[in-house]
Amino acid sequence: MALLERSLGLVRQLVGARLGIDVNVAILKKAETLELRHFEDSEFYDKLSRARREASLRPLSLIESNFQVLRNILTLAGYIVLLVRFSNLMVLVLLAATVPAFIAEAKFSGAAFRLRNWRSPDTRRLLYLEYVLANDEHAKEVKLFGLGSLLLGRYRSLSERFYAEDRQLAMRRAGWGYGLSLLSTAVFYACYALIVTTTVRGRLSLGDMTLYLVAFRQGQQSFQTILSAVGSMYEDTLYMANLFEFLAIPTERKRPTAITTVAPEQGIRFEGVGFRYSGPDDADRWALRYIDLFIPKGQSLALVGENGAGKTTLIKLLSGLYQPTEGRVLLDGKDLGDWEVQSLRQRIGVIFQDFNQYQLVLRENIAFGSVEHLQDDLRVARAVEQGGARELVASLADGVETQLGRWFKDGVELSGGQWQKVALARAFMRDEADILILDEPTAALDAEAEHAVFQRFRTLAQGRTTVLISHRFPTVRMADRIVVLEGGRIIEEGTHQELLAAGARYARLFALQAEGYR
């Protein structure tokens, strides 16, 4: 027992820390292999939150419970050797009396587990409210619009509901536990009375009576501890099942269902492509449908359309972040699903309108565009120049080694336009990319800065395939070809002059924007 106690202490310190690291790394590694569609699914976030909740604690608890079972089995075995000399039947009755309490405890453990799983969406909502109320990203609007009281009220209401549910379960658990524990206590005292009666009749000495009383009490407690540990193991395995369910999410890329022979070609082809999201409310809503489009190598293409027309979805299909629901996307005559993922990623440089603002140093914010060149000063400097961020770097005391954001010490916060220049530089880090995708890349820039960016972009994009999304027609008209999307379908395509001459949707949008400048 002394060895087990020491071993258990060592396990808590070493194995506990090791398990915490390994389990969390496993969760994050799994998240890295998942597709973008998973991160846009609320059910996925429920699975993720259930997997992460207590994920680093339950494996250690499981090991500790095993130690407790082993330790108390050794103790119980010693007492049983003594007790069977007095009465085999009494030993069985004494041990059996603790079983109902164990069954009730296991039942309530399952109920607690189901309750926490059931309210996973509300738990995430609670965490989100806490994040909004205590995060710099939302602090301005929360204060200016007076949202604090409203959001705090929702936080308190949700917390109180959780407390009421937990309190009800805890009170039922305690009540049943207390009532059933009285059964084992009553059986013990019945045995106690029998032993005393036997002693009074002279069949046992006072020393034997003391020995058996202590053995019965300690034996019963050891058995109760064993059952309690087994109950904890049961509860731990329930929570571990959440972890294994998350880790078992399939990550294999969908293979094209219909393969046809395609002659080798240089460029990007959308062939009968349709895409819809996987949520229950999206079953009949297509984000894109019947998309047939060919972008020859070296051509610049602009996508035009209202918000929600499907422009960004098309870009995500092109970059391999989504798999088509129907049809297929080909690159140089080869289905994107057949490309090795890393090779495909290296050919594409992209900046989305909702680009990330990493709370890291400026060098990392830029070099993440080609992370293998993180320490390549010449490439970073070239990307800074191409992205129009030279003046920004020059204005910072520590240059590209400046910490950005306010989360960490000495961090410098940038304006929206400055962050956008950093994101543009990040896209230009990938020199090897022969496909450049810009999704509203200059939305936060002034007109002069935008013009400078696109003049550089036209020069740097020579010989590359470029796809551009923009609502600004002076930018759009620079493209070799323009595609107009509406309701997830292509309704027009051609050059700027051809679309103006057609007098359809593009011409009307152009006229509306031009009117605003008169």
Strands 300-304 and 465-469: parallel
The total number of residues shown for the chain amounts to 518
How many structural domains is the chain composed of?
2
What are residue 304's phi and psi, to 5 degrees?
A: -125, 145
Strands 300-304 and 326-331: unpaired
Residue 253 lies in a domain: no
**CATH code of residue 90:** 1.20.1560.10
Instruction: For residue 390, give the amino acid letter.
Output: R
Give the contacts of 410 (CB within 8 A, at least 6 positions apart): 403
pLDDT at 256: 43
Distance, in Å, from the CA atom of 292 to the CA atom of 273, rounded to the nearest integer, reads 7
Residue 290 lies in a domain: yes
Distance, in Å, from the CA atom of 405 to the CA atom of 197, rounded to the nearest integer, reads 79
Q: Which domain holds residue 157?
A: 2-247
In 3D space, the residue among 95, 104, 81, 86 whose CA is nearest the CA of residue 187 turns out to be: 95
pLDDT at 442: 64
Are 289 and 194 contained in the same domain?
no
Residues 110-136 have pLDDT tens digits of 787 777 777 777 888 888 888 888 877
Cβ(251)–Cβ(301) under 8 Å?
no
Tokens 């929360």 sit at which residue?
A: 142
Are 85 and 179 contained in the same domain?
yes
Residue 463 lies in a domain: yes
In 3D space, the residue among 135, 54, 55, 69 whose CA is nearest the CA of residue 102 turns out to be: 69
Residue 364 lies in a domain: yes
What are residue 435's phi and psi, to 5 degrees?
A: -130, 120
pLDDT at 84: 77
Average confidence score pLDDT of the chain: 80
Residue 70 lies in a domain: yes
DSSP at 412: B
Residue 487 lies in a domain: yes
Instruction: For residue 4, give the amino acid letter.
Output: L
Structure tokens at 143: 């204060």
The list of the chain residues with pLDDT below 70 reads: 1, 16, 53-56, 252-264, 279-284, 441-461, 516-518
Are 279 and 163 contained in the same domain?
no
Are 155 and 17 contained in the same domain?
yes
Are 389 and 428 contained in the same domain?
yes
Cβ(483)–Cβ(311) under 8 Å?
no
Residues 43-94 have pLDDT tens digits of 777 777 777 766 667 777 777 777 778 877 887 787 777 777 777 777 777 7
Cβ(351)–Cβ(426) under 8 Å?
yes
Are 354 and 501 contained in the same domain?
yes
pLDDT at 260: 47
Are 167 and 275 contained in the same domain?
no
**CATH code of residue 408:** 3.40.50.300
Are 54 and 166 contained in the same domain?
yes
Cβ atoms within 10 Å of 443's Cβ, excluding its own: 14
Cβ atoms within 10 Å of 61's Cβ, excluding its own: 19
Structure tokens at 81: 């050797």
User: Which H or E run contains 149?
Assistant: helix 148-200
Cβ(417)–Cβ(379) under 8 Å?
no
Say what angle helices 416-428 and 377-386 make with each other, to 10 degrees.
130
Cβ(318)–Cβ(437) under 8 Å?
yes
Distance, in Å, from the CA atom of 491 to the CA atom of 444, rounded to the nearest integer, reads 29
Instruction: For residue 278, give the amino acid letter.
Output: S
pLDDT at 274: 92
Structure tokens at 270: 């959308």
pLDDT at 452: 67
Cβ(337)–Cβ(328) under 8 Å?
yes
Residue 262 lies in a domain: no
Distance, in Å, from the CA atom of 205 to the CA atom of 274, rounded to the nearest integer, reads 89
Distance, in Å, from the CA atom of 38 to the CA atom of 278, rounded to the nearest integer, reads 9
Are 208 and 281 contained in the same domain?
no
Are 201 and 277 contained in the same domain?
no
Structure tokens at 75: 């103790």
3-class secondary-structure state, position 486: strand
> Can you give the pTM of this predicted structure?
0.65
3-class secondary-structure state, position 91: helix
Tokens 């806490």 sit at which residue?
A: 130
Are 21 and 108 contained in the same domain?
yes
Distance, in Å, from the CA atom of 290 to the CA atom of 325, rounded to the nearest integer, reads 11
Cβ atoms within 10 Å of 398's Cβ, excluding its own: 13
Are 40 and 162 contained in the same domain?
yes
pLDDT at 447: 65
Distance, in Å, from the CA atom of 406 to the CA atom of 398, rounded to the nearest integer, reads 16
Residue 259 lies in a domain: no
